[in-house]
Amino acid sequence: MARENFKREQEVLRTLFLDGGAMTRRQFAAQLGLSMESLDKVLSEIKRALDAVGCDDQLRCEKGSYIFARDRRSSSEMVQKVLSVIYRMKAVRQTEIERIILILRQLQQGCQTLPRLIDSFMDELKVEVDRKTAQTYIDYLIEVGIVSCNNKKRPFRYSLKPSLFELLANAELEELYSFVEFAANTDVFSAAGCLMLDSLAMYMRQKRGIEAGIQVTYKYNYFGRILDEYICHELLDSISKRKKIRIIYGGKESSRYRSFSGESQGSHRGVIIPVRIVYDHQYGRWYLLAFKDRPRKETYDVYRIERIKQIEPLEQTVDEAVFKRMIDSVRTGIDRSWVVSTVTQAEEVEVVVRFWFATGTGGTSANYIRERVEREGRWGTIEPEGENTFIYRIAITDMSEIKSWLLSFGSAAEVMEPEILRHIIINEWEQVERHYANL
Amino acid sequence: MPIFEKIHNYSFRQAVWEIGNPAPPTKIEMGWLKKMLENPQAKELLTDSFYEKLLTLVANETPFPNSSHVEEKGKPSAQYSSASVHLPVLRAAMRNCKSVIISYLQKNSKECFDVNGIPCRLEFSMARREWYLLWINPVEQPNRPNTTPLRMIRDARIGEGVVDWEYYQSSLREWFEQSQEMVQIKALECYPGALLSVLNAFSCFYTMVSSGKQKNTLQLHVRFLADEREYVLQKIRFLGSRVKVEEPEAFKKQMTLEIGNALARYSGESRTSIPANINGGNREKLRIVPG
């Protein structure tokens, strides 16, 4: 693939985040299918990026292992900043940085024409930049939305777009910061929010002398989702254009992490039609639902986004009516699935669970079990039963997906129906019991 | 719109920082803000006039990303969003190192009126979708924080006088250090990818990981506070046979007891006593996940 690929940085950051310190440098490289030299190169680039965003102490090498220095005092802001550093790794030449910075400085003083900007390259950087090159810089700044062209006739005059931040009073900036921080932590799409949070904090400090942010912690957040977000953006672009993509997918492999260096054992490639993206809050995971280009059956497949090694958007598009049928098929398929069941044509099964609760413990009258079932029980229904029990019912297409959630209640949940799920749960508890058999 | 942009490159950011005049937010950032303002929670979190002002300022932007092809599954329903009404006062007090005077309901339903407290930290639980205030009562419990859900706060206003913010923050840190508990868990690769799912499940805690003694196992040392114990146990139970608690002994005993109780549910006669009228009764509908 000719396009820049961030899979290495993504997997190195994921490994550091999830089990930083568990592997030696050699194991780390082997696990990711990289040479030690390549791993060191990726890590030194990540380290440079972390230094630049003020997280220099978050990555260190100790006793032959790389450690992501995360602890309770690392605010959720810091963890997010470390992981979102991947969005600051698009390659750019130093000369381009210098020249664009110069353009920004010139425009901060007021409107400028292209010839004037070309002169300033010579005056300040002592370099001759041709008109075409200078125009590409300006076009880029217009494209990313920070510069505008003020007139329709020559000579064109360019200026910086008014910054949202400049239009706000100090108290409003603080309010905006709190809102952006909340949204960047709680919405499934966080990357652009992290970038905005950073530029807002920078603006508040430099231009208003305000230190942004107070002590806020976003607990039990699956920050890892931010690493996979960029693939979702690429997929969404293809979906909105009904474009097919070529994919290399890791599939289930025995290693903890999948090698991203091309087609390793267990990976497969093919052309697919992406239709929908699903984010599951229970596991903190992204999924892609897609049809094979030439399917044998009219059913979709489920792909875990983190296992996608490469995608390449193709020019081929899918007929609108066909695409609509695919969307409808996926919607119907997952409408009654607990997550993204692949059992697409299955009939719904009613799962009946008796929940046991105790009130009055710790001097409270709250029914925590019921509160939790109400919060997490999706489209299920609750029927009051005895003094300490209630019945929960839910119709789902694949009962295996609800198993872990039911197990998490421990002895507070008893599966009544269907019989097979009852046995699955009993079997799982018996397996867990064997772990503690010698106690 | 591509999410990777040269203008966001770390060297670029550093260079912008050095010239001391930040560039305006990019199209992606502005589009994302517009998208977030479309979220119903935006109206609750922002003051009315500021919300309207922001809407005007992003009017010409294209919402980013276009999430019409995205579906969220299993998002816990937020029932307590009205609690965010106290956030501005609490944030202002913390920002200006002031105390707060709060009236709130305790767990045991006892009402407390006009208590002077030092607000130390706000917490938002992603699991419960609920805000909490960590605060210190300098008279009754100066050395340990209270954790009060914002929905239990009836009234909050900024108090008089400036508090020694650094002192209370360091007290809080000290208390965190002293109150931490730790559980050692063995993760087993009982099927391909199981270790990754265990690591992911505990990634929302402060977890140290080391290689296990046996092949294809990992040791996780998960640290948490006493009031998080039930949530940790919930995670352990969620993972079923993929994990085994190794230490401490008390935790193992608790797990053994729980497994025994869970299996006992299935060995008794409880099932036969379930009402047979499966379709009747007084059902209370939960929310429906939007399609």
Q: How many CA atoms lie within 13 A of B64 on its CB side?
A: 25
Share of residues in chain B with pLDDT > 70 (%): 90
Domain ranges of chain A: 7-89, 94-161, 165-224, 228-255+263-334, 349-437
What whole-number distance in Å separates Cα of residue B146 and Cα of residue B175? 11
Q: Dihedral of the CA atoms A106, A108, A114, A117 (nearest 10)?
A: 0
Q: Which residue of A has its CA nearest to B223?
A: A72
Task: Name the one residue in this structure whose structure tokens are 């497994």.
Answer: B259
Is B4 an interface residue toward A (CB < 8 Å)?
Answer: yes
Q: Is the pLDDT of residue A310 over 70?
A: yes
CATH number of this structure's domain A94-161: 1.10.10.10
| B153 φ/ψ angles, rounded to the nearest 5 degrees | -85, 120
Tell me the angle at which helices B229-238 and B249-267 cross, rounded to the nearest 10 degrees.
Answer: 60
More confident of the two residues A407 and A365: A407
pLDDT score, position B280: 38
What is the rounded CA–CA span in Å between residue B280 and residue B275? 10
> For chains A and B, what is the number of CB pairs under 8 angstroms?
420
pLDDT at position A84: 94
Q: How confident is the model at residue A250 (pLDDT cuts 50, 70, 90)?
A: confident
List the single residue in B3, B120, B209 with the smallest CB-CB distance to A191: B3
Contact A192/B108, CB-based, under 8 Å? no
Residue A261 CA, distance from chain mean position = 21
Chain B hits for A380, Cβ within 8 Å: 286
CA A388 to chain centre: 41
Q: Supply A302's token pair.
A: 């489920």
Average pLDDT over residues A160-187: 94
Q: A349-437: what fold? A: Alpha-Beta Plaits (3.30.70)
A69 reaches B (C-beta below 8 A):
no
A297 to chain B nearest CA, in Å? 23
Confidence of residue A257 (pLDDT cuts 50, 70, 90): very low
Q: A373, A403, A401: which is closest to A287 by C-alpha? A: A401
Strand order in the sheet with B243-247: B206-211, B217-225, B180-188, B243-247
Question: Domain A7-89 falls in which CATH fold?
Answer: Arc Repressor Mutant, subunit A (1.10.10)
Do the Cβ atoms of B8 and A202 come closer than 8 Å? no
CB contacts of B187 in chain A (<8 Å) are: none
**Distance in angstroms (rounded) separating the CA atoms of residues B256 and A140:** 62
What is the rounded distance in angstroms from the CA atom of residue A71 to the CA atom of residue A217? 13
Matching fold, domains A7-89 and A228-255+263-334: no
- Dihedral (CA of A200, A206, A207, A212) sign: positive
φ, ψ for residue B222, nearest 5 deg: -100, 125
pLDDT digits (tens, 9 = 90+) for B163-192: 888 888 888 888 888 888 999 999 988 777
Tell which of B30, B69, B118, B205 to mutate to test the A interface (max A CBs under 10 Å).
Answer: B69
Tell me which chain A residues have a C-beta less than 8 angstroms from the C-beta of B169.
Answer: 215
How far is residue A231 from each of residues A2, A5, A31, A352, B2, measured CA to CA in Å?
16, 10, 22, 38, 10
Instruction: State residue A47's pLDDT score.
Output: 92
Closest approach of B45 to chain A, Cα-based (Å): 7
Angle, helices B27-38/A170-186, rounded to nearest 10 degrees: 80
Contact A252, B192 (CB under 8 A): yes
Chain B (80-99) residues lying within 8 Å, Cβ to Cβ, of chain A: 87-88, 91, 94-95
Running DSSP on this structure, what letter comes out for residue A54? Answer: T
Burial class (CB in 10 A: 0-12, 13-18, 19+), A330: buried
Which chain A residues in 232-291 lie under 8 Å from chain B, judged by CB atoms? 232-233, 236, 239-240, 252-254, 256-257, 275-285
Question: Chain B partners of A278 at a C-beta cutoff of 8 Å?
Answer: 70-73
- A328, two tokens: 């409808």
Rounded-to-integer distance, Cα A135 and Cα A130, Å: 9
| Candidate from A179, A192, A428 with C-beta closest to B29 | A192
A162 φ, ψ to 5°? -60, 130
Residue contact A280–B74, C-beta within 8 A: yes
Cα-atom radius of gyration of chain A, to the nearest Å?
Answer: 27
Report chain A residues whose CB lies below 8 A from the CB of B264: 411
Looking at residue A439, its pLDDT comes to: 61
Does B60 contact chain A (CB < 8 Å)? Answer: no
The alpha carbon torsion through B86, B89, B91, B92 (nearest 10 deg) reads 170
Could you read off the pLDDT of B197-233 as tens digits, one per residue?
899 999 888 888 888 777 788 899 999 988 899 999 9
ipTM of the complex: 0.92
Pairing mode, strands A285-292 and A268-280: antiparallel
Would the pTM count as exceeding 0.80?
yes
DSSP-derived secondary structure for chain B: --S--GGGSHHHHHHHHHHT-PPPPPHHHHHHHHHHHHSHHHHHHS-HHHHHHHHHHTTTSPPSS-GGGEEEESPPPP--GGGGGGHHHHHHHHHTTEEEEEEEE-TTS-EEEEEEEEEEEEEEETTTTEEEEEEEETTTEEEEEEEEEGGGEEEEEEEEEE--HHHHHHHHHHHHHHHEEEEEEEEE-SSTTHHHHHHHHGGGSEEEEEE-SSTTEEEEEEEEEGGGHHHHHHHHHHTGGGEEEEE-HHHHHHHHHHHHHHHHHHHSSGGGGS-S-TT-S--EE------
Q: Which CATH architecture has domain A228-255+263-334?
A: Roll (2.30)
